[in-house]
Structure 1
């Protein structure tokens, strides 16, 4: 009887997965049509929708199980049989690792992850033996004559319902880029070069991307071709990205997830990892929209790292936040963020509001300037993994969320984010040229976030970080709001001497009022950073600048932030619209 019940439960979970992944894929497959029709609002809506459908699939599967097995689901011993049955069912499944994550998520409706017990859960990953690149997922291009011939044949393979704007010009640009950037690296003749391009096109925001690699001798060089669509003119290749760091920026944790028809996600991740070896696999799964499995891969990666690491979790460098307690492991490139029990003045937001704002960012266009976060409930650490001072601070500041149980630490809710060097620390330790570059990019970050209809609120340097690529990124979301809801004002002139000497405003201030003249206060204590910022972005102190951005947003002029440098564009004079 138990075996029969276990089979029914396993079958219901697998059916639930198939329904959930079908819903996920249905949204994803619409990306091509949205790109061809230049329906950018629909593309933005689809991003938000896809983030919900998979989660809803897990909830539907759990509800179905309650009808199928009811009280039996609380018998943990039964789940050992369920796992064995499920493992047999998915042995040859193309999405085996993602089905395992789905199973674990369903299991969590009845039991916690206090212990990652392989008897009931799929704890172990696929392992190195399953990380080979499958020829099933890419097209091959071999040429003996020229880069131009190679480029033409490649573009011919990928057709849209919209015509190429000028395919021959695009092919010539690609050939020239390959010759100038690749020729010095070649260890073999052109006849021995093979280009492999993933069969499915990657879509995000207003762009489409062909993602591939060039094999020459024992070397692998990335090849990513961003494609734009100008309504009434056609599609065209906008650049050729042939550098691993530049490709990594395109797949950055600061950008929205791709829409890509990846029938075997693991095979796509294996391929991508060969051209971005510095990327964690969990980041690649997440970038493809498999957020739940990205979290699974993170836990496996972090636990594996912790078992071989001698350092301890410590409070993160930088100014202590008023809303979040942030800690990190120095040998691992993430930070852990916990909402504090109480917020010191002048913070007036609530815990629920903070969570809502982090969720907003996870579903919004991050414009390449806002860090993605992974949200976890009931995350366990060993007590010995913590520096005692760090753990004491967390227990003091976050007592409602952090609990010490039998030499283990339970964190009931936390966010995980890529670690960056806080901008305020960066500008205090760098030479003049580096500060100038950072301040220029800091202003660019503010503008690009604003163009995505997000007002950062608190723009203190400590709320921004610098990535390993030197990009300035915003990561503190407790005061964000939609830019088009702000009321940008000039500070009225003082009426008399008393107003002039007053430490309090002599004018009324509404809830959504913003005074750009006050932005200079964000540079308190660092006059050189202030001077550098004003050399590039002094207009951000002016009300009219922000009102013009609002006008563009309200007129539907959605901005597009290219995830590569202007100098890399073939047609820099053309703007996506």
Structure 2
């Protein structure tokens, strides 16, 4: 007897996951070579390529299933059987959770995200084993209670870099000094630093490589992250070492690009990372490892569980309402939901598809810690009873074609989800003069770092930026984002006549791509203190020549280094002196 159609479908999906995972890993395996050769342009090219793999593999499997099943393809019994057969294949696999998400992705593509039931797909929490995972296969152990300098040198020598260290003895001393200063000198009586564990694969992103681990202080655990840079002259060096959870969390921020990590068992890596950053959600960690689809699955399960337990209602998000997006939130939940309006408030003049293209650009770009990552969903189901009357009225007014009600179920046909932040314009009303100076310096740095990454924010109103729990300023409104190299930065021409000087309308021609930086002051109108603080640090942003120089650097292939930790944590590399 041959295999049933359901069996063949389950095998096709299982094989499809294998093809996806192999291609995903092969792109990832090139990360070390790109780092060692300082091929920063290829770093971004590889990231773009890897983002395309999942969708391409899903479509290929869906086409194959349509051929295998033919007229049976919509049969509930067929998919019920296929799920059972697939579940048997995945049982006990180290990547069982990601395998199940892959099945869901194929099913959702076949049925346009409709008729999603546990009988046909893996909807609810699958109840995977909850026992303590065996992470010994992905870890390397080093004692730190004896021969500290030798242990640190061994850690560095065990790494498989093909480039030599610029000065391994200096780097060893830097790390040992930091261990003494950050850990040993701060121990309570009776406490001891005993050992360190590191994941066996480095984390590559942009121009850096990260050795990620943890250090044991009695029964307590602290992060232990060593950051490597390429000096672009044939050797590498340790740029810093971090033991602070908040600083390490910034490296794994939702505002940064995805890592390249040779992790054959991503779930084990996520569980390890959760031990050093317990406040990070697992879906955020899956996303940062490049498994965005599974991150979305994990998010939905957690969002549903939270909503079922919460007593509050979904409501319109605080802040000035946008001209392009309708934004709502559950006050007790750390995320906002954004829907593109059907009609935009003037003077916005664009289409919904143009807005979606802007969000796709941000998804694929280097966010340099200054743009919030978003997750895009189709046909996301909510409990209608949890929506406030005001929010329902707003949905029915602004996006009537994007909502559908089925009993107590409210279906949003297209929605983005983003981490909740305090809008910058609201934050400024809550802080003193000293913090205003700091936060406006941050705001200017956000604009500059985005520009260095070839991103021009476009609409730089304060309401379009948010403040994270770490006090970072992050851009989150993308409908006017474009590449910096697409802009034409100009100085406002001097008037030649009194009539021109008195005119309240421009007397000179303006093309759609023309930008006049002198006009950026308008973004700070209404906040005199904020404007004064901004101009203390970033008056150069008003100068068209500043922006033109940035464009020239980008066109010349200059990839600027943006560090996800403060400059004062970086080691000195000009000599053997320690950075005290």
Retained in 2: the 8 A contact 1:144–1:190? no
Distance 2:232 2:508 in 1: 48
Aligned to 1:389: 390
Aligned to 2:167: 166
With 207-216 and 183-192 compared, the bigger mean Cα shift is at 183-192
1:181 aligns with 2:185: no
How far apart are residue 185 of structure 1 and its match? 4.4
1:553 aligns with 2:554: yes
Aligned to 1:257: 258
Residues 447-472 of structure 1: per-residue CA shift (max 9 Å, x gap): 00000001111100001000000000
Distance 1:188 1:149 in 2: 25
1:135 aligns with 2:136: yes
Retained in 2: the 8 A contact 1:442–1:472? yes
Retained in 1: the 8 A contact 2:193–2:215? no
Distance 1:260 1:340 in 2: 38
How far apart are residue 518 of structure 1 and its match? 0.3
Retained in 2: the 8 A contact 1:97–1:126? no
Distance 1:190 1:572 in 2: 32
Aligned to 2:475: 474
**Ranges in structure 1 where 5+ consecutive residues have no aligned partner:** none
Alignment of 1:341-360 (within 5 A): 341-360=342-361
Distance change (3 Å), C-alpha of 1:90 and 1:185: farther
Retained in 2: the 8 A contact 1:566–1:572? no
How far apart are residue 479 of structure 1 and its match? 0.6
Distance change (3 Å), C-alpha of 1:358 and 1:339: same
Q: Report the TM-score, using the length of structure 1 for normalisation.
A: 0.96
Q: What SS is found at the alignment partner of 2:328?
A: strand
How far apart are residue 503 of structure 1 and its match? 2.3
Retained in 1: the 8 A contact 2:192–2:217? no
Aligned to 2:365: 364
Retained in 2: the 8 A contact 1:7–1:82? yes
Aligned to 1:117: 117
Compute the RMSD of aligned alpha carbons: 1.8
Distance 1:189 1:147 in 2: 19
Residues 173-222 of structure 1: per-residue CA shift (max 9 Å, x gap): 01111111111443587876110000001000011000000012110000
Retained in 2: the 8 A contact 1:152–1:171? yes
Aligned to 2:578: none
How far apart are residue 418 of structure 1 and its match? 0.5
Retained in 2: the 8 A contact 1:3–1:81? no
Alignment of 1:304-453 (within 5 A): 304-453=305-454
Q: What SS is found at the alignment partner of 1:347?
A: coil
Distance 1:405 1:112 in 2: 17
Aligned to 1:28: 28
Distance change (3 Å), C-alpha of 1:131 and 1:337: farther
Distance 2:391 2:417 in 1: 17
How far apart are residue 492 of structure 1 and its match? 1.3
Alignment of 1:51-66 (within 5 A): 51-66=51-66
Distance change (3 Å), C-alpha of 1:73 and 1:260: same
Aligned to 2:72: 72
Distance 1:310 1:108 in 2: 31
How far apart are residue 70 of structure 1 and its match? 1.8
Distance 1:265 1:293 in 2: 11
Aligned to 1:8: 8
Distance 2:126 2:174 in 1: 42
Aligned to 1:196: 197
Aligned to 1:464: 465
Tell me the matched-pair count. Answer: 574
Alignment of 1:507-526 (within 5 A): 507-526=508-527
Distance change (3 Å), C-alpha of 1:125 and 1:169: farther
Distance change (3 Å), C-alpha of 1:231 and 1:287: same
How far apart are residue 128 of structure 1 and its match? 7.2
Q: What SS is found at the alignment partner of 2:240?
A: coil
With 124-133 and 558-567 compared, the bigger mean Cα shift is at 124-133
Retained in 2: the 8 A contact 1:427–1:529? yes
Retained in 2: the 8 A contact 1:118–1:124? no
Aligned to 1:248: 249
Distance 2:478 2:443 in 1: 16
Q: What SS is found at the alignment partner of 1:85?
A: helix
Q: What SS is found at the alignment partner of 1:457?
A: coil
Residues 418-475 of structure 1: per-residue CA shift (max 9 Å, x gap): 0100001111221111111110000000000000001111100001000000000001
Distance change (3 Å), C-alpha of 1:189 and 1:168: farther
Retained in 1: the 8 A contact 2:191–2:218? no
Distance change (3 Å), C-alpha of 1:130 and 1:59: farther
How far apart are residue 54 of structure 1 and its match? 1.3
Aligned to 2:223: 222
How far apart are residue 559 of structure 1 and its match? 0.9
Alignment of 1:535-550 (within 5 A): 535-550=536-551
Distance change (3 Å), C-alpha of 1:247 and 1:125: farther
